Amino acid sequence: MKKLLWSCILFIFVALILPGHIQASPSPAASKTKASGTAAAAGQNWDAILNEAKKEGMVVVYNTAWTSQVRVALSQAFKEKYGINLEFSPFSRGAELVAKVQAEQRSGLFLADFFGAGGGTLLTSLKPTGYLGSMEPLLVLSEVTDGKYWRDGKFPYLDKDKTAVGMLASVQRNIIYNTNLIKKGEITTYKDLLKPQYRGKITVNDPTVSGSGKEVFLHLSLNIWNVEEAKAYLTQLLKQQEAVVERDNRQHVESVARGKYAIGLGPNPDNLAEFIKNGAPIDAVVLKEGVYVSGAAGCIGAPTKLAHPNAARIFINWLLGKEGQTVFANSFGNPSMRSDVSTAQFNPIFIPQAREKVFMANETSILFTDDVTKITKQIMDEVYKK
């Protein structure tokens, strides 16, 4: 009888307790089911955002230097994909964009979802005034955030606070030459321009104003040499080599293309690409010191409060995905920072070469631009003083 009683107790124990332990250690099949459920939940979250986004109906982008070609291409592609309108408010200069945002937010208005501009406008003007929020919470797709999809193996934030993203890989080919006057391979370093045979044959894009001329000396000061060496180099170019300074970007490149000057320092990439495409006798030097790569005007940031929060999330994840970056890069005329976006349509000279050392623009270099302006102005004042 006792034996029967203990058998019953044992049976009840196994029936009630043991299944709990079995469930606590799920099988591989159960784990797979759970993972699928997580993926489904993520998809449902995206669908929920999209549903709300369609109710909001639009995304508003304040931008500078995004041409009508870029704006139309993005608007059409995004509308076709999601049925959401993309509206742009273009400004000719970063200062105008900043003034507009300041006036609106002082009145308690948040009318924009994104700011598309150069890194300088975002990090030196908008960020210090507290108008930029973190981009990180807006990025919800792994195909956007995973570093394996981006050049340099990491997502292209421009600053440690993750308030700005550089979308373009604008290669700054800082020395160009007329192929009828200079042989290929004759110039390989910056200091080659100090050789006696080039005296009076060099044009310099004005380094005292925003643009590629200034970026040359920023690059030399921070990445290649130091401030003192960069100052000495500019002084030698102007005094010893009698280099001529030109402020107009197009004129600077055209002067080399027409043979007025044999060499140009600090060409605007867009103008250079145009002249090369049209068959001008002009080429760029792949320098031994390496190349500076910036986001140019193809950077983006978001205000602390979005006008259309759900539609904005849909847009930024599309824009930073392969499809959106393909549209953006092709219409802008510069390669994307995404490594999976084709570069076949671009001249190889505007793509970093194999084993070429690359210096990426970052918050340090962007914030240094004001110092470069002061330094180069001081040098030019001294050189040209009467």
State the Cα–Cα distance between residues 79 and 81, nearest whole angstrom.
Answer: 5
Q: Do residues 106 and 79 touch, judged by C-beta distance below 8 A? A: no
CA angle 33, 39, 45 (to 5 degrees): 135
Nearest to 142 by CA among 131, 150, 133, 152: 150
Q: Of the ranges 13-17, 18-22, 85-89, 286-290, which one carries the lowest mean pLDDT score? A: 18-22
Query: CB 151: neighbour CB atoms within 10 A?
Result: 18
Q: How confident is the model over 175-189, as pLDDT tens digits?
A: 999 999 999 999 999
69-120 pLDDT, tens per residue? 999 999 999 999 999 999 999 999 999 999 999 999 999 999 999 999 999 9
Structural domains in the chain plus CATH codes:
43-168+295-342 (3.40.190.10), 174-285+365-384 (3.40.190.10)
Q: Helix 309-319 and helix 28-56: axis angle, to 10°?
A: 120
The DSSP call for residue 157 is B
Q: What is the pLDDT of residue 270?
A: 87
- What element of type H or E holds 34? helix 28-56
- What mean pLDDT, rounded, does the chain reach? 89
Average pLDDT over residues 341-355: 92
- The radius of gyration computed from the CA coordinates of the chain, to the nearest angstrom, equals 28
Can you count the helices (H) and strands (E) in the chain? 14, 14
Residue 386 has pLDDT above 80, yes or no: no
Instruction: Convert the pLDDT of each residue in 133-177 to its tens digit.
Output: 999 999 999 999 999 999 989 999 999 999 999 999 999 999 999
Predicted pLDDT of residue 211: 87
State the pTM of this model.
Answer: 0.83
Asked if the model's pLDDT at residue 276 lies above 70, the reply is: yes
Amino acid sitting at position 164: A
Q: Quickly count: other Cβ atoms within 10 Å of residue 25's Cβ.
A: 7
Show the tokens assigned to 150. 């981006």
If DSSP codes are grouped into helix, strand and coil, which group holds residue 296?
coil
Q: How is residue 303 written in tokens?
A: 């205000």
Is residue 165 within 8 A of residue 299, CB to CB? The reply is: yes
Strand partners, 347: none
The arithmetic mean of pLDDT across residues 183-200, rounded, is 98
Contact assessment for residue 167 and residue 331, using Cβ atoms and an 8 Å cutoff = no
* Burial (Cβ within 10 Å: 0-12, 13-18, ≥19) of residue 74: buried
- If 0-12 CB within 10 Å is exposed, 13-18 middle and 19+ buried, where does residue 323 land? middle
User: Is 70 exceeded by the pLDDT of residue 354?
Assistant: yes
212-219 and 369-384 helices, crossing angle to 10°: 100
